[in-house]
Chain A
Amino acid sequence: MIELLQVRTRRLLRRVLTRPRIDLPLAAGLLLLAAAGLCTLYSAADGDVGQVGGQAVRFVLGFVLMLLISRIPPSALRNWTPWLYAGSTLLLVVVSVLGEGRGADRWLNLGIMRFQPSELAKLTMPMMVAWYLHPRQLPPRWKDIAMVGAMIAVPAYLIGKQPDLGTALLVAAAGGFALFLSGMAWWRIGLLLVGAASMAPVAWHFMHGYQRGRILTMLNPESDPLGNGWHIIQSQIAVGSGGAFGKGWMHSSQAQLDFLPEHTTDFIFAVFSEEFGLVGVCLMVLLYAFIIGRCLWIAMEARDTYSRLLAGAIGMSLFVYVFVNGGMVSGMLPVVGVPMPMVSYGGTSAVTLLVGFGMLMSIHAHRKRHD
C-alpha cells in the first residue's frame, strides 16, 4: 500500500517536473506579479530580508502547490467538491466555537501550524456553486438561485461574525461570480441588488462597533486621527505624493518615517503608489487585468459547466481583491482587511490564490478540443 503510494507520488512528481500542465501566459503573469510584490515588500519592510525571505518561501510553496494541483483533473475536483465544502464549513463552525487569535477568532491551531479555515472557504465556495449548477438547467431559476444563496450565506456569515468582513466579502463574491457566470438573468440580478441595497440599514444594525467606525471614518477621516482616520489620511498622502512617476524604489518617505501604518500588509499598495507613481499603478492594474482576462479565457475554453464556472469565478474574485484594496488605500472604500494579492506581506492568502490558479491550470489542460 505504502509502496504503491510511493510509486504513485514519484510518478506524479516526475510528471509535474517533466510535463507541467501550465498555461504559460498565466504562469508568466503570476511570476511577474510575485517579483513585483517581493520588490515592493523589500522597500516597504525597510530592507528587512527576513520578511522578504518569509514571503518568498510562501510564494515557492504556493507555486509548488499550484503545479501539484494542476495535475488533478477537474472531474476529480468536482467529485470532491461537496466534501471539501462541507469540511471547510465545518472548520468554520469549529473556529467560531474554539478559535483563537487576537481580537478576531479566525485561526485554528493545528499544533504545528495555525490555519485559517476562511482561506479554504475562498476556494470551496466557487467550487460548491459550480458543482451545484453543473447538472442543472441554465440559466438558473429562483429555486436554484435560492439554494446557491444559502450555500453562500452560511460560510459568509460564519466568517463575517469572526469578525472578518474582508474575507467574508471575498468568499461571498466568489460564489456570487459563479452564479453570475451561470447566466442568471439580468433582471433577476437587478432585483437582487436592489433587495440587497434595501437591506443595508439592517446590516448596519448587525455590524460591530469598530466596523461601523471604519465606515464613518472613511466618510470623515479627521474624526479618528489616531486610528483608522490616520491610516486613510496618511495613505492618501502617500499615494498622492507619488505623482505621475513616483519617488523611486526605496524612496517612500511616508513608509520610512512611519507615517503610514501597516505599510507591509494591508497598506503596501500605498508604498507602491508612492514609489512608482501613476505609471506604476497603471502597469500593476494592467497586469491584474491581464491575469483576470486570461482566467476568463481559460474558462471559456473549458469543457464543462463546472470547469467554466469555477475558472471564471476564481479569475473574477481576483478583481475584488484589487478593487477593494486599491479603493481602501486611496480612501475610496472603508478599511477592511483585504490584501493586495501577491503584494501584501503575510497571511496564507498568496498560497490560497496560487492553489486556485493551480485549479485553473488543470482546467486549462483539460480544455475543449477544437476540431
Chain B
Amino acid sequence: MKLKLRRTIKDPRNEGELFRRRALAGFALILLGLAGLIGRYVFLQVTRYDEFATRSENNRVKPLPIAPARGLIFDRNGVLLADNVPAFRLEVVPDQVKDMKAMLADLGQVVPLGQDDLDAFHKQLKQSRRFESVPLKMRLTEDEIDRFAVNRWRFPGVDVVPYQNRRYPLGELFAHVIGYVSRIDADDLDRLDPSLYKGTTHVGRIGIERSYEDVLHGTPGYQLVEVNADGRTQRVLQTHPAMAGKNIYLSIDARIQKAAEQALDGHAGAAVAIDPRNGQVLAMVSVPTFDPNLFVDGISRADYQTLTTAPDKPLLNRALRGVYPPGSTVKPFVALGGLELGLRTPADSVLSTGTFCIPGTTFCRRDDRRGGFGTVNLRMAIMWSVNTYFYKLALDMGIDRFSQWMGRFGFGKPTGIDLDGESSGILPSREWKEKRYKKPWFPGETIIAGIGQGYWTVTPIQLAHALGILAGHGMPYAPRLVMATQTDVDAPKQPLPNAPTGPSVISNPSEWQAVVQGMEMVVNDPRGTGYGLGKGFPYTVAGKSGTAERYSRHTDAYNENTNLAYLASRHRAWFEMFAPAEEPRIAVVVALEEGAWGASSAGPIARKILDAWLATQPDAPPDTPLPPGGLPAPGTAPAGGAPASASSAVLQDLPQDTSPGEPADASSQENPG
C-alpha cells in the first residue's frame, strides 16, 4: 500500500471537491427516487382513493384454508386401521366475543362444556391471535349441534365447523404401531410449515402417524369466501380443493397381529414377526396397550393419569423401546461367528463338566446342568444351550471380534425401522465400556457376553431384526412397517422398495446350515430345550429359547425355589423362531417381561404366531396347532427326554445353577406355560 502511495499522487483538495459534487448528485438522485415513491403513494391514495376506499369498506373476501384429508392406513390386505370420520366442532373467534367469560358461561348452558375442553381452549387462546378461530369443543353430538343452531344468534364469533376426525377402528391392537394424531400445540407450531398446516388441527404424534406425517398429511387448498361484519361466511366465491394425503399400506397382517396379541394374553411383553426375505414387519405387538382414540381430541386428565401411572406402563412401546438382556437367544449368532471367523468347525466339540474357568484364573462360571453335558459339538451346544461351549468360544473370539461380529446383526444400534424413538440397546465392547464406565474390559465379561448376559441389552425389534438377518441367509434388511402408498383408494398402490442395507453377513452356506440345524434340534429333538414347539407344523421350525435374569444375584448359592410365579417375577423369557427352516419366510421374536422360562412361557406364544401366519398362506399344508395349555408331552420313553428331563430335573429336584448368567433354558413337559 505504501508503494502505491508513492506512485500515485493524491490530491486532497481535488478529491474533496469531487466528493462534494458526487454527494450532491447522489442526493439529487435520492430526492428523485423519493419523489417517485411519493408519486406512487399519490397514485394509490389520491388517484385511486375511491376504488381502494370501497374495496377496504367491502373487504369481506377472505381466503379460508381447506385442510387436506389425512391419508388412510390399511394393513397389507386392506383392513382399515386409521379412518377419517366427519365430525363437527365448536370454534370461537376471540376478536368477536365481547365478554369471553360471560359468553362461555352462557354457551355452557346450551352445549355442555367440560373442564378439559375449557382448559385446552384457554391454553390455545393464549397462543393464538385474536382474529384466529380457536376450537372449543370437538366431536359435537347431533343434539348439541341442533341446540346450538337454535341459539346461534346469541353467540357472535362462535360457530359449528365441520372437520374430519381420526378414528382407529382396531384401537388398542395397533396403538403401538400406528400411534395416533393429536391436536396441534404451540411447540408444533414452531416446527411445522405454517403454509402447509393452515386449517389443520391435528398432527401425527407418535408411531406411523408421526414418522409418515409428510406422506399422510397432504396439501391444503383454499376457499375465497365473503364474510359479513361478524366474520361469518356468507358466500363461497371460489374453491381450490385440497390434495388429500396418501394412503399407507402396512406390511402387517392384522390377523397375525391379532393372534400375537391374543397369544400374549395380557402378559407384559412384546412380539415381533418379520419376513426375512425383505424386512417387512408382519406383526408388532406390545402388551399392555392403550386406546389411541383417547388421544385424538385431547385425552382427559383422568385418563392420562391412569395411563401414565399404571405400573405396567401401557404407553411404553416394548417392541421398540423395551430393553432386556437377550440371554441365550444370542447363542446361534455366537456359534455362527465362531464358524465364520474360522475358530470352530461344526464338528469341533467341547467338554462340558458343569464348570468353566478362564484358564489361569479362578474366574469360573457354571453350566445349567450340574455335572455338565459331556462332550458337545456346535449343534448340541445350541440344542441344549450349553453355556460352557459359548463361554469358551467367546473367549477365543475376544471381545473386539465378538462385538464387531454381533454389530453386523444390528445389535447395539437402532435397526432403522420406519418408526421414531427406538432404543439402541447396548452391545458391550471395549470402547463402549471405556466410554460408559471409564474402565478397562475384563475377560470375565467376555464370557458372560457369550451367553447374552452382562451389559448386553436388546429390544425385541432388534432381536427380530437380527433373527431376520440370520434366517434370511445373512441378507440385512432394515425392518419396514410400510409396504406401499396410494394416492387414492382406487389408485394403484405404489410399493416402497426396501433394499438390503449391505452385503450378506454369511459367507459359507454350509455353516449357516449347521447353526440352523442346531436351532431345529431345539424344537424338534426330544433333547432340545424347546422340544415340541415344532410339532404339527407342516414346515420345519427352527428356534432358540432364552431366559434372562431381571435382577442380578448377590450370592452364588443355588436357588432352590421352583415356584413358577416366583421365577416369573425374576426372569425375562425369550423365544425366537423361524420357519420354514430351509427357506425362512417368517421370523418371530417373543419377549415376556415376566416369564418363568423362555421355552415354556414364550415358546408357545411364538408358535401361535407361526400358526396364525400359516393360516394366511393360501398354499400352506394343514396345521395342527399346539393344544392349549402348553407344549405337548415329549414322546414316550422316559429316556427319550433324557437331557430334557434332566434339565427339568434340575428344575424340580436339583438346586439350580444359574449364576451369574442365565437360569436354565427350560425344558418342556413339566413346565406348562
Q: Is B131 an interface residue (CB 8 A)?
A: yes
Q: Which of A69-77, A160-168, A225-233 contacts B (4 or more CB under 8 A)?
A: A225-233
Task: Give CA–CA (A132, B269) in the complex, Å.
Answer: 73
What residues of A have a CB within 8 angstroms of the CB of B23 in the complex?
181, 296, 299-300, 312
Q: Is A277 an interface residue (CB 8 A)?
A: yes
Task: Give CA–CA (A238, B48) in the complex, Å.
Answer: 12
Complex interface bits, A180-211 against B, C-beta within 8 A gives 1, otherwise 0: 11110000000000000000000000000000
> Which residues of A126-142 have CB atoms within 8 Å of chain B's CB atoms?
135-139
Q: Distance (Å) between the CB of A359 and the closest chain B CB?
A: 17
Task: Give CA–CA (A285, B46) in the complex, Å.
Answer: 17
Q: Is B22 an interface residue (CB 8 A)?
A: yes
Q: Is A254 an interface residue (CB 8 A)?
A: yes
Q: Distance (Å) between the CB of B587 and the closest chain A CB?
A: 42
Q: Distance (Å) between the CB of B612 and the closest chain A CB?
A: 47
Q: Distance (Å) between the CB of A174 and the closest chain B CB?
A: 13
A257 touches B59 (CB 8 A): yes
Q: Is A242 an interface residue (CB 8 A)?
A: yes
What residues of A have a CB within 8 angstroms of the CB of B26 in the complex?
177, 180-181, 296, 312, 316
Complex interface bits, A264-276 against B, C-beta within 8 A gives 1, otherwise 0: 0000000001000
A239 touches B52 (CB 8 A): yes
A308 touches B19 (CB 8 A): yes
Chain A contact residue count (CB 8 A cutoff)? 57
Q: Distance (Å) between the CB of B339 and the closest chain A CB?
A: 47
Q: Is A85 an interface residue (CB 8 A)?
A: no
Q: Is B27 an interface residue (CB 8 A)?
A: yes
Closest B residue by C-beta to A368: B16
Task: Give CA–CA (A236, B19) in the complex, Å.
Answer: 39
A181 touches B63 (CB 8 A): no
Q: Is B536 an interface residue (CB 8 A)?
A: no
> Which residues of B62-114 have CB atoms within 8 Å of chain A's CB atoms?
62-63, 65
> Which residues of B485-519 have CB atoms within 8 Å of chain A's CB atoms?
none
Q: Is A326 an interface residue (CB 8 A)?
A: yes
B41 touches A281 (CB 8 A): yes
Task: Give CA–CA (A234, B12) in the complex, Å.
Answer: 52
What residues of B have a CB within 8 angstroms of the CB of A322 in the complex?
34, 37
What residues of B have a CB within 8 angstroms of the CB of A258 in the complex?
129, 131-132
A327 touches B40 (CB 8 A): yes
B contact patch SS: helix
| Given the contacts A183-B22, A258-B129, A322-B37, A289 and B56 also touching, CB distance less than 8 Å | no
Complex interface bits, B15-29 against A, C-beta within 8 A gives 1, otherwise 0: 110111111101100
| Given the contacts A226-B222, A259-B59, A241 and B53 also touching, CB distance less than 8 Å | yes
Q: Is B126 an interface residue (CB 8 A)?
A: no
Q: Is A348 an interface residue (CB 8 A)?
A: no
Task: Give CA–CA (A322, B24) in the complex, Å.
Answer: 19
Q: Is B1 an interface residue (CB 8 A)?
A: yes
Contacting residue for A138 out of B18, B27, B130, B198, CB 8 A: B18
Q: Which of B3-11, B314-322, B647-655 contacts A (4 or more CB under 8 A)?
A: B3-11
Q: Is B51 an interface residue (CB 8 A)?
A: yes
Q: Distance (Å) between the CB of A128 and the closest chain B CB?
A: 14
B45 touches A180 (CB 8 A): no
Contacting residue for A225 out of B34, B48, B59, B224, CB 8 A: B224
Point out which of B45, B51, B57 has the most chain A C-beta atoms below 10 A from its C-beta: B45
Q: Is A262 an interface residue (CB 8 A)?
A: no
Point out which of B42, B44, B63 has the most chain A C-beta atoms below 10 A from its C-beta: B44
B15 touches A183 (CB 8 A): yes
B56 touches A254 (CB 8 A): yes
What residues of B have a CB within 8 angstroms of the CB of A226 in the complex?
63, 65, 195, 198, 222
> Which residues of A307-327 have CB atoms within 8 Å of chain B's CB atoms?
308-309, 312, 316, 319, 322-323, 326-327
A137 touches B38 (CB 8 A): no
Contacting residue for A289 out of B19, B34, B195, B198, CB 8 A: B34
Task: Give CA–CA (A241, B40) in the complex, Å.
Answer: 14
Task: Give CA–CA (A183, B41) in the complex, Å.
Answer: 33
Q: Is A244 an interface residue (CB 8 A)?
A: yes
Closest A residue by C-beta to B53: A241
Q: Is B118 an interface residue (CB 8 A)?
A: no
Q: Is B299 an interface residue (CB 8 A)?
A: no
B59 touches A254 (CB 8 A): yes
B49 touches A244 (CB 8 A): yes
What residues of B have a CB within 8 angstroms of the CB of A273 in the complex?
41, 45
What residues of B have a CB within 8 angstroms of the CB of A230 in the complex?
63
B19 touches A237 (CB 8 A): no
What residues of A have a CB within 8 angstroms of the CB of B10 in the complex?
135-138
Task: Give CA–CA (A331, B19) in the complex, Å.
Answer: 35
A contact patch SS: helix
Q: Is B31 an interface residue (CB 8 A)?
A: yes
Task: Give CA–CA (A253, B55) in the complex, Å.
Answer: 12
Closest B residue by C-beta to A327: B37
What residues of A have a CB within 8 angstroms of the CB of B131 in the complex?
257-258
Q: Is A46 an interface residue (CB 8 A)?
A: yes
Q: Is B343 an interface residue (CB 8 A)?
A: no
B34 touches A278 (CB 8 A): no
Closest B residue by C-beta to A184: B22
Q: Is A87 an interface residue (CB 8 A)?
A: no
| Given the contacts A289-B31, A308-B19, A236 and B52 also touching, CB distance less than 8 Å | yes
| Given the contacts A241-B49, A278-B46, A285-B38, A137 and B19 also touching, CB distance less than 8 Å | no
Contacting residue for A326 out of B37, B49, B62, CB 8 A: B37
Closest B residue by C-beta to A293: B27
What residues of A have a CB within 8 angstroms of the CB of B565 in the complex?
none
B4 touches A289 (CB 8 A): no
What residues of B have a CB within 8 angstroms of the CB of A242 in the complex?
45
What residues of A have a CB within 8 angstroms of the CB of B129 in the complex?
258
Task: Give CA–CA (A182, B33) in the complex, Å.
Answer: 21
What residues of B have a CB within 8 angstroms of the CB of A236 in the complex?
44, 52
A323 touches B5 (CB 8 A): no
Q: Is B30 an interface residue (CB 8 A)?
A: yes
What residues of B have a CB within 8 angstroms of the CB of A149 in the complex?
none
Q: Is A88 an interface residue (CB 8 A)?
A: no
A323 touches B45 (CB 8 A): no
Q: Distance (Å) between the CB of B192 and the closest chain A CB?
A: 10
What residues of A have a CB within 8 angstroms of the CB of B15 in the complex?
138, 183, 305
Task: Give CA–CA (A282, B22) in the complex, Å.
Answer: 26
| Given the contacts A226-B63, A253-B56, A292-B30, A240 and B22 also touching, CB distance less than 8 Å | no
What residues of B have a CB within 8 angstroms of the CB of A345 in the complex?
none
Task: Give CA–CA (A312, B26) in the complex, Å.
Answer: 9
What residues of A have a CB within 8 angstroms of the CB of B55 in the complex?
237, 240-241
B56 touches A238 (CB 8 A): yes
| Given the contacts A240-B45, A299-B23, A289 and B59 also touching, CB distance less than 8 Å | no
Q: Distance (Å) between the CB of A219 and the closest chain B CB?
A: 16
What residues of A have a CB within 8 angstroms of the CB of B42 in the complex?
278
Q: Distance (Å) between the CB of B125 and the closest chain A CB?
A: 15
Task: Give CA–CA (A319, B32) in the complex, Å.
Answer: 11
| Given the contacts A308-B19, A316-B30, A281 and B38 also touching, CB distance less than 8 Å | yes
Q: Is A63 an interface residue (CB 8 A)?
A: no
Point out which of A137, A238, A253, A277 has the most chain B C-beta atoms below 10 A from its C-beta: A137
B51 touches A240 (CB 8 A): yes
23 pairs, A vs B, C-beta closer than 8 Å: A135-B10, A136-B4, A234-B59, A236-B44, A240-B45, A240-B52, A240-B55, A241-B52, A241-B56, A243-B46, A259-B62, A281-B38, A281-B41, A285-B34, A285-B38, A289-B30, A289-B31, A289-B34, A300-B19, A305-B15, A323-B34, A326-B40, A330-B44
Residues of B within 8 A of A (CB): 1, 4-5, 8-10, 12, 15-16, 18-24, 26-27, 30-31, 33-34, 37-38, 40-42, 44-46, 48-49, 51-53, 55-57, 59, 62-63, 65, 129-132, 195, 198, 222, 224
Q: Which 7 A-B pairs have the closest CB atoms?
A: A240-B52, A241-B56, A137-B8, A183-B18, A240-B44, A258-B131, A278-B45
With A182-B19, A241-B52, A281-B41 given, name 17 new contacts (CB 8 A).
A138-B18, A180-B22, A180-B26, A183-B19, A225-B63, A239-B44, A242-B45, A244-B45, A258-B131, A273-B45, A278-B41, A278-B46, A281-B45, A308-B19, A319-B33, A326-B41, A331-B44
